[in-house]
Structure 1
Amino acid sequence: MSDGLRPGDPARLGGYEVLDRLGEGGMGSVFLARSPQGRRVAVKVVRLEFSHDEEFRGRFRSEVNRARQVPPFCTAEVLDADPDHDPPYLVVEYVEGPSLAQVVREQGPLGAAQLHSIAVGVATALTAIHGAGVIHRDLKPANVLVAPGGIKVIDFGIARAFEATSQHTRTNQMVGTVSFMAPERFDTTTGRPVGPAADIFAWGAVVAYAATGRNPFGGDSATATAMRILTQPPDLTGLGGPLRELVSQALEKDPAARPTARELLDGLLTAAYPVGAGKSAQVPGSTPAASVLPAAGGDDQGPRPTPPGPAAAGRAGSRRRGRLTALGAVAAVIAVLVPASLFGPKLLRGQSKPDPAGSTAAGSPATSRPPATASVSGTPTASPSASVDPTAAMLAGQRRILLHVVEIDRDLSLPFDGELEVGDGTGKDALFVLEPAGVDYMIKSVNPDIAHRPCLGVKLDSEGYKSLVGAECRPTAATLFGISREGKDDKGRTSYAIVSDEYGVVQWSPSKKEIYVEFLGDAPIDTTFSLVDRGAV
């Protein structure tokens, strides 16, 4: 939105011709400008009273360096910066499109599909932002742009690197917008740095605002709002379905109880229809009932287990060629779920979730398989009236399995010494269970003699060779695997590739007679696994 240039506004900033004033914030003004190449850009200029403060200039410099590392597909791309200019400025991509605040102000609360798109888009952006080591600190509807190509989260003028949360901030300074601040932002007595969980809280408040047209902690003053944030539960009246559960978790008072950005994204993508509007909003051809994150708690060392939907097994198919990083997956998500027609009435028309056994064709009746439900522990359990699909039960961690190496007709086993072997599958060493962890799995031995390092993990030796060994059962890059459907074995069972995002594809080495892990690039996968049911856990 144009504010018009004011007397005293600069005509040029470095090599950039200033065209118009776009807005003003707590740290400076934003101008529309033209680059030397003729491209329209947005230039954020630090306020004069701050620009001579070396402490502030140091903060600005560190934030610019971090902002350059944030992938641009979901944020305004950082194009240039001059922290030494007087005043310092930052040049970013100029994004056409209204802000979420403007959309809600002019059109009212969003419908189910629109709301789901916003929730996914902002969670995607936060996944990328946090992955680059940045905290936004001022996520709010005005900083979410509904651009023709998808959601863009903007304004990193007050974002800072995780490890630099204190050296540039005075004790009595606080940046952000009260209505969307996490409770820990108001507590200056502990000295603890504010982490990415503060952005998760803001995500919950932004989504609630988009759904209802009001802030879930809204008071008649900034002080009243802050007190409600600190002491009262959020008012989520008007927000329903699985999305309400995710928003409620994001708005937990305790930052350790909130999901991570990636867990939010995982939870959103398990929804079978744009959530928040009941069954009437279900997408034709999709399966009903979304899985959402269980009540969060404990530490924040890795993904918390979430019941995988039927898509969990097939969703890793895109990882067949080389490494699929978290940000690569996020880019794919934004391309599929937040297209240029973001606010169209049928965002996911015609898409359905694949059946893990490969038996349900796209577009099959949504009632063909009753959904799994989550127990208190977070482990999925079948609906009492449902006939249990064996493959779905194995993928849900409810059945013991053999991991059968299709190409050599052998089965994996994990002896007590923790060195993975292949055998005939007759001993207790060969029994495993899949433990869902987000959209991935940990693969755990159920051998009662193994109390230490019972999960499969990738071991990297000094020469870079990667093998599979026994590891502690903690969700880390070395112990999380995607299960990607590849075809059928000679007995007609579905076969899968087992893929580590961090290290590559699990393969069999005919020369070394052992299982190893490598990136394949464009090479075909030549080692697959079928899951052989060996009874209830």
Structure 2
Amino acid sequence: MSMPLRPGDLARLGRYDIVGRLGEGGMGSVFLGRGPDGRPVAIKTVRPEYVADTEFRARFRSEVNRAQQVPPFSTAEVIDADPDHEPPYLVVEYVDGPSLAAEVRDRGRLTGSALHSVAVGVATALTAIHGAGVIHRDLKPGNVLFARGGIKVIDFGIARAFEATSQHTRTDQMVGTVAYMAPERFDPVDGRPVTPAADIFAWGAVVVYAATGRTPFAAESAAATAMRILTQAPDLTGVPDSLVDVVERALAKDPVERPTARELLDLLLASSAPGGGSSPVVPAAASVAVPAADAVSGSVHYSDAAVPVRSKRRSWIALSAALGVLIATGVGAAVRFLPVQSAGDDAGAQPTAPASAPSAPAAGPEPVTPEERLAAILRGNRQTLIHVSEIDRDLALESSSTEVVVGDGTGQRSLFALESLGVDYLIRSMYDPAEDRCVGVKIIPDVGSQLVPAECTATKATLFELVRSEQTDDQGRPTYWIYNDSYGYVQWSDDDKSLFVDEVGDNPPASSFSFVDRGPLPS
């Protein structure tokens, strides 16, 4: 599923026409393009701050050359690149299929031959990647796609160029996703070198996620997750016996104790596939459009779990030096309660999008059942109200407002769209889509973490997970907890008549949210 181009986006890069956006990450954007032969491709561009680094361009060229040597089985083929273009770009095979993150989120954990085939498919991809002298560095469920004929691993081959730049010139980013990082990744710059063994560790974490819906070191914050990776044994509860031993070896703290990709593949193929010993069968790709991918990998992307975190909160002072790169500043202003609209203030009007709204992606047949409407909302194809179940109110954001507010669900200010980025979402305001405003989080001194309007860029302040609760709202709709991995759960304070964001420790969140269909995105 591609999104409309934004004002200022290029219409062409080299030989390739740009036809839509697929996603955005800390290192750049990814576009849907078409080659001279009409073939769809994914085109990854680099952010300007990296373009200015002459050493980065040299590393980028070297890594692209290496990535082009990776055999395109179980990986997205690297088709083309131009390190000298403004901006530099990389062209890879467009994989029309859902990610492992989307499959687990939408359909639940994998079992039997489906799980085994993912484990084998990703190990096969790592065998090819490592065989070409490349280290992935950001293997995670969002980078594992279900394609026609098998598993495809994407976003490999240029992480090293970004990582060197990040470590030497930036203090606010790391290349990778904390929940899937090997212990050696948290060493200082002059510590242990990153080797292919880091990808093996990530493979183990990906398999645990596929089998259980959570990562093996899940905690209530990125810092706590990192500490668990460094000091604690993985939680393999729910991983089938046929995979426990090999996953445990892959998650060894010492990289020398992990198997190589080739050894990993041999171990998997030597074991019997679950459900009868036959060869693993790759599950058919789901009948949904390709999700908005994580784009050019690189920014720290906190996605620890698809189930609520219940571990006790801890303060990890010993990790302050290694994890200082995980701290960034939020943007925006506080959430306040919005009184119910009076008659005449478009009360009761059917919400419609302004004429200037961007074109919606093709959404397929009109959803009929409540389940189909919810699925379309979660795929980003429908406008929605975000209903606060406990107070019978809805989130709202006006065009000129500096606050995210809570109102009665009428008018353009109450319309949002969920923009899928792997296991996370941007929550985009549809009041005036041209303004590019999303929901974010900001720490306000002496107040705490609050919801705020923010630029629609994937950062730790704007990425949210939807965690399915066991409850329904007053209309019988499924409810979700809205979770930001760096700040906590979105909750309502009846005392202050405002929303806040906080961790909940051992307790369940106090507030849950449901999604009310308000029609297709504007065309």
| TM-score, reference length from structure 1 | 0.50
Amino acid in the other structure paired with 1:191: G
* 1:32 aligned onto 2:32: yes
Q: Secondary structure at the match of 2:21?
A: strand
In the TM superposition, 1:53-202 aligns within 5 A as: 53-156=53-156, 158-160=158-160, 170=168, 174-188=174-188, 190-202=190-202
- Aligned letter for 2:8? G
Deviations 1:415-474 (A, max 9, x none): xxxxxxxxxxxxxxxxxxxxxxxxxxxxxxxxxxxxxxxxxxxxxxxxxxxxxxxxxxxx
1:56/1:168 contact within 8 Å kept: no
Distance 1:341 1:15 in 2: 33
Distance 1:342 1:249, change over 3 A: farther
Q: Which residue of 2 aligns with 1:282?
A: 276
Contact 1:166 1:193 in 2 (8 A): no
Alpha-carbon distance in 2 for matches of 1:273, 1:93: 30
**Any stretches of 5+ residues in structure 1 without a counterpart?**
275-280, 287-335, 344-537
- Could you tell me which residue of structure 2 aligns to residue 207 of structure 1? 207
Match of 1:513 in 2: none
Matches within 5 A, 1:519-534: none
Q: Could you tell me which residue of structure 2 aligns to residue 333 of structure 1? A: none
8 Å Cα contact 1:114-1:342 kept in structure 2: no
Change in Cα spacing, 1:104 to 1:165, as seen in structure 2 (3 Å) is: closer
Contact 2:114 / 2:281 at 8 angstroms: preserved in 1?
A: no
How much has 1:260 moved relative to structure 2?
0.6
- 3-state DSSP of counterpart to 1:206: helix
Find the residue that maps to 1:3 and give its secondary structure. coil
The number of equivalent residue pairs is 284
What secondary structure sits across from 1:135 in the alignment? Answer: coil
Match of 2:391 in 1: none
- For each residue in 1:138-159, what CA deviation from the matched residue of structure 2 results, as whole angstroms up to 9, or x when unmatched? 0000000011111000002544
Q: Does 1:230 align with 2:224?
A: no
Cα drift, residue 166 of structure 1 = 6.1
Given that 2:166 and 2:174 are in contact with CA atoms closer than 8 Å, whether structure 1 keeps it comes out as: no
Aligned AA for 1:147?
A
Specify the alignment match of 2:4 in structure 1: 4
Hey, what does 1:45 align to over in structure 2?
45
The alpha-carbon deviation at position 169 of structure 1 amounts to 5.2
SS of equivalent to 1:24: strand
Distance 1:339 1:218, change over 3 A: closer
Asked if 2 retains the 8 angstrom alpha-carbon contact of 1:55 and 1:168, the reply is no
Checking the alignment, whether the CA contact within 8 Å between 2:182 and 2:202 is kept in structure 1 is yes
The list of structure 1 runs, each at least 4 consecutive aligned residues, that deviate by more than 4 angstroms after superposition, is: 164-169, 336-343
**Structure 1 residues 165 and 14: CA distance shift in structure 2, 3 A:** closer
Question: Superposed, which structure 2 residues align to 1:58-457 within 5 Å?
Answer: 58-156=58-156, 158-160=158-160, 170=168, 174-188=174-188, 190-274=190-274, 281-283=275-277, 337=280, 341=284
Assess if the C-alpha contact under 8 Å between 1:121 and 1:338 holds in 2. Answer: no
Tell me what 2:363 maps to.
none
Instruction: Report the residue type matching 1:90 in the other structure.
Output: L
Query: Secondary structure of 1:170's partner?
Result: helix
Cα distance in 2 for partners of 1:273, 1:338 equals 9
Contact 2:98 2:285 in 1 (8 A): no
Q: 1:206-228 deviations in whole A, cap 9, x for unaligned?
A: 00000000011111111111111
1:102–1:142: 8 Å Cα contact kept in structure 2?
Answer: yes
Q: Would you say the 8 A contact 2:178–2:226 is kept in 1?
A: yes
Name structure 2 gaps, 5 residues minimum: 287-523
**Structure 1 residue 21: deviation in Å?**
0.3
Would you say the 8 A contact 2:3–2:21 is kept in 1? yes
Structure 1 residue 337, shift from structure 2 partner: 4.4
> CA–CA distance in 1 between the matches of 2:220 and 2:244?
24
CA distance in 2, matches of 1:249, 1:4: 44
Q: Residues 207 and 247 of structure 2 are in contact (CA less than 8 Å); yes or no, is this contact kept in structure 1?
A: yes
Label 1:209 to 1:77 Cα distance change in 2 as closer, same or farther (>3 A): same
Q: Answer yes or no: is the 8 Å Cα contact 1:66–1:160 preserved in 2.
A: no
Give the 3-state SS of the residue equivalent to 1:5 in structure 2.
Answer: coil
2:135·2:199 contact (CA, 8 Å) conserved in 1?
Answer: yes
Deviation at 1:114, TM superposition (A): 0.5
Please tell me whether Structure 1 or Structure 2 has the larger radius of gyration of its CA atoms: 1
Q: Secondary structure at the match of 2:23?
A: strand
Aligned to 2:208, what secondary structure does the other structure show? helix
Q: Report if the CA contact (8 A) 2:42-2:93 is conserved.
A: yes
**Given residue 32 of structure 1, which amino acid in structure 2 is its aligned partner?**
L
* Structure 2 residue aligned with 1:386: none
Counterpart CA distance in 1 for 2:97 and 2:104 is 13
Distance in 1, matches of 2:94 and 2:3, equals 15
Amino acid at match of 1:203: W
Conservation of the 8 A alpha-carbon contact between 1:27 and 1:157: no
Q: What whole-Å deviation, never above 9, does each CA across 1:228-275 have from its counterpart, x for those lacking one?
A: 11111111111121301111110111101111111110010111232x
Whose RCO is larger (CA < 8 A, sep 6+)?
2
Q: Does the CA contact (< 8 Å) of 2:143 and 2:153 recur in 1?
A: yes
Letter aligned with residue 7 of structure 1? P
Deviation at 1:4, TM superposition (A): 2.4
Q: Structure 2 counterpart of 1:99, which letter?
A: S
Cα RMSD over matched residues?
A: 2.2
Check conservation: 2:163, 2:175, Cα contact below 8 A. no
Partner of 2:335: none
What is the deviation of 1:190? Answer: 4.5
Q: Give me the TM-score of the superposition, normalised by structure 2.
A: 0.52
After superposition, the Cα gap between the structure-2 partners of 1:199 and 1:147, relative to the gap in structure 1 and judged at 3 Å, is same
Structure 2 SS opposite 1:63? helix
Relative to structure 1, is the Cα distance of residues 197 and 206 closer, same or farther in structure 2, using a 3 angstrom cutoff? Answer: same
CA contact (8 A) 2:135 2:157 kept: no
Q: Residues 58-82 of structure 1: CA distance to partner in whole angstroms, max 9, x if unpaired? A: 2211110111000011111111110
Q: 1:342–1:106: structure 2 CA closer, same or farther, 3 Å change rule?
A: closer
